[in-house]
């Protein structure tokens, strides 16, 4: 295994034109239909794109999804709804392990903190944003950009809680688009399988293929207490897919780093990942020890550990890509080519030629400032009850300012989602909260040093674990009614509060603001300005013939059902339900739930289970529908293979693969294992309507 991993990214970027053929996470207003026609003989029409855009939805928590019926039924991944499933669970009813199925409409359970966003409009606001920052630098540029974006959002969406407006930076500031969404905040759980089959194979199989997961979650969007009317939805394919067939993925890839300069990539390789990976490994160990305390602790920490393991494996793969000499040589060649084209044009050279060197110089200062900035914007101060306390303190002060002068996360538009998040009745587990907060305090001291002024303010004379215990045991913030009262009470309520977590957050707030302001003025603003100059130069040379880095906004990728070669061994594009049973050992993570064991005689074991395609995806695409040229569902994206981990920096079509649950396996399992007749009937009715 170690040898296999060590060789994964050798010659990762020594690519032929064929390897790049299906590259791209394309915006819907710049989709290369002609390119698809040239490669596959099918030209997606404007009507096709419009229909898919309306049927695709975004899970604001970090995933993708799609409407699959005219009555608000939504399909996504189990690992995208597992937070809701865990929040609805108790010590007596652990739905994560046992699964959940609402046999009637009345049984559908409201997810405490779940938002779905349907993209309704994209408009270009580049001139407004760039005009606001022209001639400004540092803190003045940051404030001008924040104000411009707040004004744009306010003018379009106002304070309408059913709408969401986001100003999205594409091509690192080369284009600014306003994305307008219809927002659904009443989302109810309809179905979730047992964890052991949804995540069959666990961490060993994660980012691998062959694969045998039933990773589906079904929820329903409601409006005014009734199932939402969703006339634009995706129908189920009658026959599924076949090898070589053209397929599309509509989803919301989170972020990529393909447009970064060499200096930024080297910083990520040499500084960022070497700091993050050991911390994640240590955090995983802390959580594993917590889980060993008992079955209830195992239930409480399960979701967090799942995501930590996933993040660790993903970052490790990306680090290997950055450590591959062939990859870095290819990226360096791409940068030299662009810089040479700029140098050959006197106008571009005068305007933009120095941008790369400016970014390179900033990396030295970034290394000095980043540890404190990461501390106040990262795990320690943004998670759990302390994260809630700091958000309550910050939001109270920010709301005393005019909308255009606030930090971006506290504009009137942002406050709609923030209030829902803060006041959601999410269970809090005090022992787990103490464990994670104590670890965060310890790591912050380790990174910054005992003599750092922030560490002194943070810990005072207390040990990290003792401080965590005092704050968690003394606070009342676990009660959503208390959080709601503090939020609605504003500055007066925060000032008057004697809750130890709020008092602690108040004491740290000035330091956090100062650190953030300094970093964003000296690093963020000049980096953004230089990136915009590079983007303008790139546009002048290439136009929009390449896709922008991912921004957790709706994109469409195209590709084909196709296997790959794994170090000389051909891997077929499909697995089958029979393979699921052959892989099962009875021991975690290869233990099947009893319902699947009992249903085996009734299942068509030849049914395709999972499949791989050449679609270009990244984290955030989880839950995306895999559709054919008719716009019909043939699969459900839930992962990428091991070769996809370098996809943060570039695409290798020879081996990079998206992994989906086959639509035929989904119906087979829903009907014969779970007897989820209500869901199957709704899918079938939608297919024929």
Phi/psi region, residue 380 (left: phi>0; alpha: psi -120 to 50; beta: rest), is alpha
Q: How do the domains of the chain map onto residue ranges?
A: 2-115+185-258+548-688, 266-542
Confidence of residue 21 (pLDDT cuts 50, 70, 90): low
Q: Using CA atoms, how far apart are residues 622 and 252, in angstroms rounded to an integer?
A: 8
Task: Provide the pLDDT for residue 4.
Answer: 23
Kindly tell me the sign of the dihedral angle through the C-alpha atoms of 40, 45, 48, 51. positive
- Per residue in 56-106, pLDDT (tens digit) is 999 999 999 999 999 999 999 999 999 999 999 998 999 999 999 999 999
Name which of 386, 506, 480 is nearest 434 in CA terms. 386
Name which of 647, 668, 664 is nearest 656 in CA terms. 647
Note whether 536 and 134 are within 8 A (CB): no
Name which of 557, 24, 17, 492 is nearest 258 in CA terms. 24
Name which of 283, 258, 301 is nearest 534 in CA terms. 258
Name which of 44, 21, 24 is nearest 547 in CA terms. 24
Tell me: pLDDT of 12 over 90: no
Which pairs from 445-454 meet CB under 8 Å and 24+ separation?
A: 447/275, 447/371, 447/375, 448/371, 448/372, 448/375, 452/372, 453/511, 454/372, 454/375, 454/376, 454/511, 454/515
Percentage of the chain beyond pLDDT 70 is 96
Tell me: pLDDT of 16 over 90: no
Name which of 540, 178, 204, 543 is nearest 353 in CA terms. 540
Task: Provide the pLDDT for residue 7.
Answer: 29
What phi and psi values does residue 399 have, to the nearest 5 degrees?
Answer: -75, -10
Q: Using CA atoms, how far apart are residues 466 and 549, in angstroms rounded to an integer?
A: 43
Q: Using CA atoms, how far apart are residues 232 and 677, in angstroms rounded to an integer?
A: 23
Confidence of residue 379 (pLDDT cuts 50, 70, 90): low
Residue showing tokens 């603003």: 525
Q: Using CA atoms, how far apart are residues 666 and 139, in angstroms rounded to an integer?
A: 52
- Per residue in 554-571, pLDDT (tens digit) is 999 999 999 999 989 999
- Per residue in 638-661, pLDDT (tens digit) is 999 999 999 999 998 999 999 999
Q: Which residues contact 479 (CB under 8 A, 6 or more apart)?
A: none
Cα diameter, the chain: 73
Task: Provide the pLDDT for residue 526.
Answer: 96
Name which of 392, 382, 397 is nearest 484 in CA terms. 392
Mean pLDDT value of segment 664-678:
99
Mean pLDDT value of segment 441-469:
97
Residue showing tokens 């709020």: 502
Mean pLDDT value of segment 185-209:
97
Note whether 233 and 70 are within 8 A (CB): yes
User: 640 - beta bridge partners?
Assistant: 658
C-alpha distance from residue 266 to each of 206, 273, 284, 325, 563 (Å) = 27, 10, 26, 12, 32
Mean pLDDT value of segment 306-310:
92
Q: Which residues of 651-672 are buried (b: 16+ CB within 10 A; e: fewer)?
A: bbbbbbbbbbbbbbbbbbbbbb
Q: Which two tokens stand for residue 126?
A: 């580049």
**Pairing status of strand 564-566 against strand 226-227:** unpaired
Average of per-residue pLDDT values in the chain: 94
Mean pLDDT value of segment 127-141:
93
Is the omega angle on the peptide bond into residue 84 within 30 degrees of 0, that is, cis? no
- Per residue in 563-621, pLDDT (tens digit) is 999 989 999 999 999 999 999 999 999 999 999 999 999 999 999 999 999 999 999 99
Tell me: pLDDT of 686 over 60: yes
Q: Using CA atoms, how far apart are residues 143 and 348, in angstroms rounded to an integer?
A: 28
Task: Provide the pLDDT for residue 15.
Answer: 39
Assign domain 2-115+185-258+548-688 to its CATH architecture.
Answer: Beta Barrel (2.40)
3-state SS assignment for residue 194: coil
Task: Provide the pLDDT for residue 381.
Answer: 63
């Amino acid at each position: 295994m170690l040898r296999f991993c060590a060789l994964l990214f050798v010659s990762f970027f020594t690519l032929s034109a064929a390897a790049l053929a299906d590259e791209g996470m394309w915006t819907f207003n710049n989709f290369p239909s002609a390119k698809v026609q040239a490669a596959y003989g099918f030209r997606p029409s404007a009507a096709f794109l419009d229909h898919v855009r309306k049927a695709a939805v975004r899970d604001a928590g970090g995933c993708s999804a799609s409407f699959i019926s005219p009555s608000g039924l939504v399909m996504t991944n189990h690992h995208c709804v597992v937070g809701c499933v865990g929040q609805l669970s108790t010590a007596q009813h652990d739905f994560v392990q046992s699964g959940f199925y609402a046999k009637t409409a009345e049984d559908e359970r409201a997810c405490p903190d779940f938002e779905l966003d349907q993209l309704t409009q994209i408009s270009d606001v580049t001139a407004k944003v760039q005009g606001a920052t022209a001639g400004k630098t540092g803190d003045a540029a940051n404030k001008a950009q924040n104000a411009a974006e707040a004004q744009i959002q306010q003018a379009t969406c106002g304070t309408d809680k059913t709408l969401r407006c986001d100003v999205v930076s594409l091509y690192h500031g080369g284009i600014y688009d306003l994305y307008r969404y219809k927002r659904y905040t009443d989302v109810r759980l309809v179905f979730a399988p047992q964890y052991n089959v949804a995540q069959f194979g666990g961490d060993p199989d994660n980012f691998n293929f062959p694969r045998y997961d039933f990773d589906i979650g079904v929820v329903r969007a409601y409006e005014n207490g009734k199932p939402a009317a969703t006339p634009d939805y995706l129908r189920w394919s009658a026959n599924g897919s076949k090898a070589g067939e053209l397929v599309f993925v509509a989803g919301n890839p989170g972020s990529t780093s393909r447009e970064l300069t060499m200096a930024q990539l080297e910083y990520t390789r040499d500084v960022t990942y070497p700091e993050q990976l050991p911390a994640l490994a240590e955090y995983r160990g802390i959580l594993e020890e917590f889980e060993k305390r008992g079955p209830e602790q195992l239930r409480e920490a399960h979701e967090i550990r799942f995501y930590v393991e996933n993040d660790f494996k993903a970052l490790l793969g990306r680090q290997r890509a950055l450590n591959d000499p062939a990859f870095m040589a290819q990226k360096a060649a791409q940068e030299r080519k662009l810089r040479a084209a700029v140098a050959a044009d006197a106008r571009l050279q005068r305007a933009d030629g120095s941008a790369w060197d400016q970014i390179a110089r900033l990396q030295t200062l970034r290394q000095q400032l980043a540890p404190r900035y990461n501390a106040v914007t990262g795990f320690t101060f943004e998670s759990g009850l302390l994260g809630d306390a700091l958000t309550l303190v910050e939001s109270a002060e920010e709301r005393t300012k005019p909308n255009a002068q606030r930090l971006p996360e506290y504009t009137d538009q942002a406050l709609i989602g923030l209030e829902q998040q803060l006041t959601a009745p999410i269970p809090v587990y005090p022992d787990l909260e103490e464990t994670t907060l104590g670890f965060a305090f310890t790591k912050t001291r380790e990174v910054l040093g005992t003599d750092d002024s922030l560490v002194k303010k943070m810990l005072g004379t207390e040990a990290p674990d003792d401080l965590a215990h005092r704050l968690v045991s003394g606070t009342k913030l676990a009660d959503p009614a208390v959080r709601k009262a503090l939020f609605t009470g504003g500055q007066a309520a925060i000032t008057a509060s004697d809750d130890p977590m709020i008092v602690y957050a108040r004491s740290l707030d000035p330091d956090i603001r100062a650190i953030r302001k300094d970093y964003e003025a000296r690093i963020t603003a000049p980096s953004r300005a230089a990136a915009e100059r590079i983007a303008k130069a790139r546009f002048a040379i290439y136009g929009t013939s390449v896709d922008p880095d991912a921004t957790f906004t709706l994109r469409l990728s195209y590709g084909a059902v196709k296997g790959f070669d794994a170090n000389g061994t051909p891997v077929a594009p499909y697995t089958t339900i029979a393979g699921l049973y052959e892989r099962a050992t009875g021991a975690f993570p290869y233990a099947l739930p009893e319902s699947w064991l009992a249903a085996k005689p009734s299942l068509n074991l030849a049914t395709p289970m999972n499949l791989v395609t050449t679609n270009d995806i990244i984290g955030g695409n989880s839950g995306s529908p895999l559709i054919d040229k008719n716009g019909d569902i043939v699969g459900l994206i839930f992962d990428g293979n091991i070769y996809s981990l370098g996809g943060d920096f570039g695409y290798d079509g020879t081996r990079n693969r998206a992994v989906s649950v086959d639509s035929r396996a989904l119906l087979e399992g829903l009907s014969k294992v779970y007897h989820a007749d209500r869901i199957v009937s709704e899918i079938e009715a939608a297919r024929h309507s």
